[in-house]
Amino acid sequence: MATGFDAWVLTLVVFLPLVGLGVVLLLPKEDEHAIKLVTLVSTLASLAMALYVLVEWVSNKYYETEKLTSFVAENGHTPFEVNKTWIDVINSNYHVAVDGLGLPMMVLSAFVTVLCVIYSWNHFPEPHNPKAFLALILLLEVGMNGTFIAQDLILFFIFFEIVLLPMYFMIGVWGGPNREYASIKFFLFTLFGSAFMLLGFLALYFKIDVDANLAGMQHSFDIGLLTAADKSGITNGVQLLIFGALALGFAIKVPMFPFHTWLPDAHTEAPTVGSVLLAAILLKLGTYGFIKIGLPILPDAAKDFAPWIGLLAVIGIVYGALGCLAQTDMKRLIAFSSVAHMGFVMLGIATMTDFGINAAIFGMVAHGLITGMLFFIAGSVQHTFHTRELSRLGGLLIQAPKMGWILGFCAMASLGLPGLAGFWGEFPAIMSAFDPASGLPVETFRTYMVIAAVGTVLAAGYLLWMLQKVAFGEPKKEFEDAHIHDVSTAEWLAWLPMLLLIVALGVYPNLLFKLTDSAVTTLTSGFGG
């Protein structure tokens, strides 16, 4: 285990927001300023810890396989790793660590949460109540940050589930007109998936012998041990069943077609910040689960499933895009575009190659930033015009030029314009389908590649259509005399870091690929990718 501060830093990333939550709950409801300040400070502190980990990781070049292996050989653990007994009776440990997969996601999660707090500063949706709203954001952050560093299945499950209730309340209390339906739908869909995921975890625990040298079955919930263990003793049918249970849980969260129906409702009804967090982080819990747990622990079953996952992914790409074109509500359109974008991510994962999975992780981060931004803008448009109906909007570039330009920028990024972050998630994912991992049907995946490529054209179609409707043309008559505000200071503060990252990652994608590549290579070497 790591020692000193390094042993605490990951725990701090996860639980500093919880400390903030405790303080917020003690503060009187009327003292809004103090509540906001405490929330901001605790999320910033959590981000600072996450950045410390990132900086240490990069400056010590742990992203190079040799550096990392020599560190492990020397110390017997990865940097920042902590492994303590937690629930002894079920053999579950408090085991947290980062790797090239979890680290960028953890930083993204801490980063986006801070921006959400800043954006909320003067933007609290009805029925206001900043205390409850910010308390829920803090609780959400605990679950989100925790999921990306958990190395124990039970710990992962707990964090994975913690996000449910806060998001349920966020949609249900602060959401749009149809919020009650959307919130319960979100909750029940996810709970259904995670019930099966938990059964899958238990089956992994009981079926896999993590130490063949010791007599008898050695059970463990440790992700690393389960990944390394020999699974040849488990029949193919059982492996498929277990993977199916895991995949159901993750696929609902992603969400993959046909489990996606909760997403447009939840996104549309959620308050702006809720949509941003949903899009930027919560959906990634599912794809991360595939990469971190599903594929490495049961690679053989994953290979049997991969063509089907790929099929659902490309259906999602096309279906999401067509869904977008049928929307009349700006926010619902962006929500459907998430289905399409997550389809690209899943296609990358389904190829089971290091190229594809790298692309998937890049796609996760890029989608988090870009779609998060689009939801921010949709929220601000709603705030200014009190509508998101595409037919009523228009001329944003005239009335609020800055916001209009930002919308244009994000639409370009989202459709995968080279030079912006979205490109590096989509293009390599499509490319990777040309040459999937050995053992996967090449023709099938090449067909998927073609369909996905067509999907990018559709993406350009619906995004430009939205841009045209919202930003171009003359302002509509009803808003002619309305006093329209352009981007406010809080909005600039929240948006600028995201916009800069979209450019930075677009121009120099190696920033991220470098971080993930060695971890992905290690991962795929486990299943001959």
Segment interacting with another protein (CB under 8 A) among 86-94, 118-126, 270-278, 315-323: 86-94
What is the spatial distance between Cα 369 and Cα 387, in angstroms, rounded to a whole number? 24
Residue 440 to residue 434: CA distance in whole angstroms: 11
Nearer to another protein, 207 or 341 (CB): 207
Q: H helices of 326-353, where? A: 330-351
Q: Tokens 């560190």 sit at which residue? A: 71
Binding of another protein by 128 (CB under 8 A): no
The yes or no reply on residue 191 touching another protein (CB under 8 A) is yes
Stretch that binds another protein, among 104-112, 171-179, 269-277, 325-333 (CB under 8 A): 171-179
- Rg over CA atoms, the chain: 22
Restricting to residues 205-244, name those near another protein by CB under 8 A.
206
Q: Please list the residues that pair with 87 across neighbouring strands.
A: 92
If binding is defined by CB under 8 A, does position 86 make contact with another protein?
Answer: yes
Burial track 181-217 (b if 16+ CB lie within 10 A, e otherwise): ebbebbbebbeebbebbbbbbbbbbebbbbeeeeeee
d(CA 514, CA 92): 32
User: According to the binding rule CB under 8 A, does residue 322 interact with another protein?
Assistant: no
Q: Does 161 bind another protein (CB under 8 A)?
A: yes
- Contact segment (CB under 8 A) with another protein among 83-91, 225-233, 344-352, 514-522 equals 83-91
Rounded to a whole number of angstroms, the minimum distance from the CB of residue 139 to another protein is 10
Alpha-carbon span 104 to 155, nearest angstrom: 19
In angstroms, give the least distance from the CB of 32 to another protein: 15
Among 23, 202, 460, 493, binds another protein (CB under 8 A): 202
Is residue 173 within the footprint of another protein (CB under 8 A)? yes
168 is an interface residue for another protein by CB under 8 A: yes
Near another protein by CB under 8 A: residue from 172, 310, 356, 404: 172
Residue 82's beta-bridge partner residues? 96
Is 37 a binding residue for another protein by CB under 8 A? The answer is no
Residue type, 132: A
487 in contact with another protein (CB under 8 A): no
User: Least distance (Å) from another protein to the CB of residue 341?
Assistant: 28
Q: How far apart are CA 97 and CA 85, in angstroms?
A: 15
- CB 54 to another protein: min, Å: 27
Nearest-approach distance from CB 202 to another protein, in angstroms: 4
Is 52 an interacting residue with respect to another protein (CB under 8 A)?
no
Task: State in angstroms the smallest separation of the CB of 169 from another protein.
Answer: 6
| 59 token code pair | 């400056």
Residue of 187, 355, 362, 495 interacting with another protein (CB under 8 A):
187
Tell me how far, at minimum, the Cβ of 277 lies from another protein, in Å. 19
Kindly state the smallest distance separating residue 184's Cβ from another protein, in Å: 6
Could you tell me how many residues make up the chain?
529
- What is d(CA 267, CA 274) in angstroms, rounded to the nearest whole number? 8
For 83, the token pair is 């492994």
**3-class secondary structure for 59-104?**
HCCCCCHHHHHHHHHHHCCCCCCEEEEEEHHHCEEEEECCCCCHHH
Q: Is 35 in the site for another protein (CB under 8 A)?
A: no
Shortest Cβ distance from residue 235 to another protein (Å)?
12
**What is the DSSP code (8-state) at residue 226?**
H
Bin 234: left if φ > 0, else alpha if -120 < ψ < 50, else beta. Answer: beta
Q: Which stretch binds another protein (CB under 8 A): 5-13, 169-177, 357-365, 475-483?
A: 169-177
- Which of residues 23, 34, 165, 454 is near another protein by CB under 8 A? 165
Place of tokens 């947290």: 96
CA–CA dist 225, 216 (Å, integer): 16
- Tell me whether the omega of the peptide bond preceding residue 475 falls within 30 degrees of 0, making it cis: no
Please identify, among the stretches 4-12, 163-171, 343-351, 493-501, the one whose residues bind another protein according to the rule CB under 8 A.
163-171
Question: Measuring CA to CA, which residue among 492, 495, 513 is closest to residue 365?
Answer: 513
Residue 111 tokens, joined: 């980063």
Quick check: helix, strand or coil at residue 374?
A: helix
- Read off the tokens for 180: 């009650």
CB of 174 to another protein, least distance (A): 10
- The nearest distance, CB 243 to another protein, in angstroms, is 15
Six-digit token string for 72: 């492990």
505 binds another protein (CB under 8 A): no
Q: What separation, in Å, do the N-terminal and C-terminal C-alpha atoms of the chain show? A: 31
Q: Considering beta carbons, is residue 169 or 495 the nearer one to another protein? A: 169
Report the distance separating Cα 299 and Cα 301, nearest Å: 6
Name the residues that contact another protein, by CB under 8 A: 86-90, 132, 154, 157-158, 161-162, 164-165, 168-169, 172-173, 179-180, 183-184, 187-188, 191-192, 195-196, 198-199, 202-203, 206
